[in-house]
Chains A and B, each alone.
Chain A
Amino acid sequence: MIPFTLVTKNLAKHKLRFVLTVLSLAVAIFLLCVLRSLVVALNAGVADAAANRVIVQSRVSLFVQLPQSYGPKLAQVDGVECFARWNWFGGYYQDPSNFFAQFATDPKELFDVYPEIYLVEGSKADFLANRKACVVGAETAAKYGVRVGDTFPIIGALYPTADGSAWDFQVAGIYRSKKKSVDENTLFFHYEFLEKSLESGFASGPSGVGIFVLKVAPGFQPVEVMSEVDAMFENGPQVVQATSESEFQAQFVSMVGNVPLLVSSIGGGVMIAILLAVLNTMLMSAREQTRDIGVLKALGFTDGSVFGVLILQSFVLCGLGGLLGIVLAKMSEPAVVKGIGSMFPGYQVTNPTLLEAVGATAAIGFLAGIAPALRARALSVIDALRAVR
């Protein structure tokens, strides 16, 4: 039988100490949640990648374009149902710091290859019909106040116009995506528009195709399609690397550096610091309760229930701090998205992350409480009663 009032009242005895410990725990758990969510966002593209999509890029470098002539040849590969060309546009809106992705692509094929994209405003027909049209992701549209019918001027950094003016895209639709394979921050426009602009001298920039995104027809093995594509262009003019979409996305994540290691070491450091803080509080608290423990034992409470009193104090303390940290992490979601949402599209504090936070909290609760609890359990009644309060 564990006197629960003792658990809560002992924690509340030193209010300042209690508050400080809970707050520092909350801050640490908050940080862990945010870090984890950033990693999850980075990997989101990988997780939601479609198994039937294949990316064809230059084997040499992502910065090398592939010849236009590759398109028709790819269409002839067994198992390729359709494909879309994708060219990274690399522009910005008004100021270089207003960064988000733009791609020149084949509009009809875009929706075929990425069925998860759907329009929430505007019309697909309008987008297809107008060569200068574009569709904008809902997040970016909200950030810059762009609506259907507006002209969205983008300065081309990679494809500068001859007179330095912006590329005027006409917004025909706002899109959202059902999966995290496509983020909601991108602008898609007509590949033809890019081609014609380069031809006419309106703008200059790298010719060729950035990547081809293939949709593998049902019944065909993506791996076989990839081998066939690689073999087809083995002799050039540009050797290619066909990869699954998940591999392609993973490539970007790994480029940020050894993210798992970095995040683990940071997370580890934070956990250690916070564990020490909580342990310190628990040890101090436990020491002050030495005589009380003697009294409890004298009254007939078992060693086990005394153990319980102390370990519960640790769990309650950590539970409160962890809960606060989790709530803060969840509440800060909009702010983080606003701040660095373009670098980490789809940032969200997901349930698995929250579960991890709960696990971390429980682990700290246990580790911080076990030593004082064991000590209390082993304490002899006489010695405990003699302790100076």
Chain B
Amino acid sequence: MALVPLSYNLRSLAVRWSATLLTVFGIGATVAVLSGVLALQQGFETLFSESGREDVIVFLRQGATNEGDSVFSLERAQILMKTLPEIAVDEKGVPLVSAEMYLAVRRKKIDGGESYVPIRGVSPLSFDIYGDGVRIIEGRRLVGGADEVIVGKKLVNRIRDCQVGRTLTLNTTPFEVVGVFDSDGPFASEIWGDRNRIGEALERPVQSRIVAILKEGTDLAALAERMDSDPQVPSKVLTEREYLTSQTQALSFVLKGLGFFLALVMGTAAVFTATNTMLAALASRTYEIGILLALGYRPHAIFLSFLFEALVLGLAGGAVGCLMALPLNGVDTGAMNFQTFTEVAFAFRVTPQVMVTAVVFAVMLGLIGGTWPALRAASMRPTEAMRRV
């Protein structure tokens, strides 16, 4: 099967360079926007899902969807912590379990306005449980029972009074900032303090969740079922990774939905541009097509030729779009996780997945735009085509 030389297509694109450029940029802009939103979503999702650990188990109040909803009374929390047989112990025989209090609090931002920042009241055992997942990078660790806090790294440049040596006032109690910690996950956007002191300052004598490391070989599924109907402390049991992943769902869903909706709208415009461009290509190459057909090229060769041209447009558009989106990679940003009402800082991640999606989408746009003109080209009759208009 004789195919129309590819150089014809490239030459055709070059001759009508302004239409080609406009189409490529139209597709490119669409793809860039799509990539941007997807990169935002990826950055957000990976922050959570990649940092969650499988071996840290989270207990929430039954029916709660996140720590903000979940409330254990002090009493019930104690019951769970003291009576659960699956809890592992460290080398000193201390059970690796800790109750934490979580509250989103309003803090002023450095560049004006306010934001809701998570406060986490922890116990010294929390640090043992998270281990290397939480690392002090400035200042020192908390001293139990003292009115002091440590702040996550991402807050240092964004939120007021979140620097070592400053004083953070919670309700009426001043807390000294004694250290900065880093973590791979969302902890890096949080303020941590002694649970008891924080609870008293806020007049909030409750726990939000319990975290623990369980003995090796514990059947998590069985435990979850048991705790679901536990008479004293009915709870939801999940790994930290599962918990964090579930936190991202709503926003991830919205971002993905937004991304594709935008892509659809802009893509429609891009497809129209592509179709117009290809129709113009068709109009100016009518004579040439007539000759090719008369010489013996089959219609499907013409069809493929035009489709190929559209494909090149799509690919070029995809490349341009990716190039436009790439600089976003690593750029710090934040988003409101409306499930917990708190702002989470993370960076755009232009992952290979994002780029592949973008390029595939671009190629699809080109092909969709080019199919109809390609069909028209292939169905031309040689005599008609060669009649000089």
Q: Do A and B touch, yes or no (CB under 8 Å, in the complex)? A: yes
User: Which residue on B lies nearest to A20, using beta carbons?
Assistant: B272
Q: Give a binary string over A217-253; 1 marks a CB under 8 Å from any B CB, 0 the rest.
A: 0000000000000000011111101000000000100
Kindly state whether residue B292 has any CB partner on chain A within 8 Å: no
A31, A266, A280 interface centre (most CB from chain B within 10 Å) = A280
Interface size class on chain A is 35 or more
Kindly state whether residue B103 has any CB partner on chain A within 8 Å: yes
CB-defined contacts of A290 to chain B, threshold 8 Å: none
User: Which residue on B lies nearest to A284, using beta carbons?
Assistant: B280
- Chief secondary structure at chain A's binding surface: helix
Given A27-B269, A270-B266, A273-B270, are A239 and B30 also a contact pair (CB < 8 Å)? no
Contact in complex: A283, B19 (CB < 8 Å): yes
Contact in complex: A254, B276 (CB < 8 Å): no
Kindly state whether residue A363 has any CB partner on chain B within 8 Å: no
Kindly state whether residue B49 has any CB partner on chain A within 8 Å: no
Contact in complex: B265, A284 (CB < 8 Å): no
Contact in complex: B335, A257 (CB < 8 Å): yes
User: Which residue on B lies nearest to A283, using beta carbons?
Assistant: B18
User: Which of the candidate stretches B20-28, B89-97, B158-166, B238-246 sits at the interface with the other chain?
Assistant: B20-28
Cα–Cα distance between A269 and B271 once the two chains are bound (Å): 15
Shortest distance between the CB of B33 and any CB in chain A (Å): 4
Given A61-B104, A64-B202, are A266 and B33 also a contact pair (CB < 8 Å)? yes
CB-defined contacts of B68 to chain A, threshold 8 Å: 63
CB-defined contacts of B270 to chain A, threshold 8 Å: 273, 277
CB-defined contacts of A17 to chain B, threshold 8 Å: 276, 279
Shortest distance between the CB of B247 and any CB in chain A (Å): 16
Shortest distance between the CB of B61 and any CB in chain A (Å): 10
Kindly state whether residue A125 has any CB partner on chain B within 8 Å: no
Given A61-B104, A269-B262, A270-B266, are A281 and B276 also a contact pair (CB < 8 Å)? yes
User: Which residue on A lies nearest to B173, using beta carbons?
Assistant: A236
Instruction: Choose among A157, A236, A277 the residue that contacts B172 (Cβ–Cβ < 8 A).
Output: A236
User: Which residue on B lies nearest to A272, using beta carbons?
Assistant: B29
Contact in complex: B338, A280 (CB < 8 Å): no
Shortest distance between the CB of A207 and any CB in chain B (Å): 11
Contact in complex: B22, A59 (CB < 8 Å): no
Cα–Cα distance between A6 and B159 once the two chains are bound (Å): 62
Contact in complex: A251, B269 (CB < 8 Å): no
CB-defined contacts of B18 to chain A, threshold 8 Å: 283
Q: Give a binary string over B301-345; 1 marks a CB under 8 Å from any A CB, 0 the rest.
A: 000000000000000000000000000000000011010010000
Kindly state whether residue B106 has any CB partner on chain A within 8 Å: yes
Kindly state whether residue B2 has any CB partner on chain A within 8 Å: no
Q: Give a binary string over B243-285; 1 marks a CB under 8 Å from any A CB, 0 the rest.
A: 0000000000000000000100110111111011101100000
Shortest distance between the CB of A104 and any CB in chain B (Å): 19
Given A60-B171, A64-B103, A237-B203, are A276 and B22 also a contact pair (CB < 8 Å)? yes
Cα–Cα distance between A274 and B266 once the two chains are bound (Å): 7
- Chief secondary structure at chain B's binding surface: helix
Contact in complex: B29, A276 (CB < 8 Å): yes
CB-defined contacts of A277 to chain B, threshold 8 Å: 22, 26, 269-270, 272-273, 276
Kindly state whether residue B5 has any CB partner on chain A within 8 Å: no
Contact in complex: A280, B265 (CB < 8 Å): no
Contact in complex: A280, B336 (CB < 8 Å): no
Instruction: Choose among A21, A239, A283 the residue that contacts B272 (Cβ–Cβ < 8 A).
Output: A21
Cα–Cα distance between A25 and B26 once the two chains are bound (Å): 13
Cα–Cα distance between A23 and B272 once the two chains are bound (Å): 9
Kindly state whether residue A389 has any CB partner on chain B within 8 Å: yes
Kindly state whether residue A255 has any CB partner on chain B within 8 Å: yes
Kindly state whether residue B105 has any CB partner on chain A within 8 Å: yes
Cα–Cα distance between A387 and B262 once the two chains are bound (Å): 41
Contact in complex: A273, B30 (CB < 8 Å): yes
Kindly state whether residue B32 has any CB partner on chain A within 8 Å: yes
Shortest distance between the CB of A374 and any CB in chain B (Å): 14
Cα–Cα distance between A39 and B36 once the two chains are bound (Å): 21
* Given A63-B103, A237-B171, A283-B18, 4 other A-B residues pairs in contact with their CB atoms under 8 A: A24-B273, A60-B202, A61-B104, A273-B30
Measured CB to CB, the residues of A under 8 A from B are 14, 16-17, 20-21, 23-25, 27-28, 31, 59-64, 157, 160, 234-239, 241, 251, 254-257, 265-266, 269-270, 272-274, 276-277, 279-281, 283-284, 389
Q: List 26 A-B contacts (CB under 8 A).
A: A14-B279, A16-B275, A16-B279, A24-B268, A31-B265, A60-B170, A60-B202, A61-B103, A61-B106, A237-B172, A238-B203, A239-B172, A254-B114, A255-B338, A257-B335, A269-B29, A269-B266, A276-B22, A276-B269, A276-B273, A277-B272, A279-B22, A280-B22, A280-B276, A281-B276, A283-B19
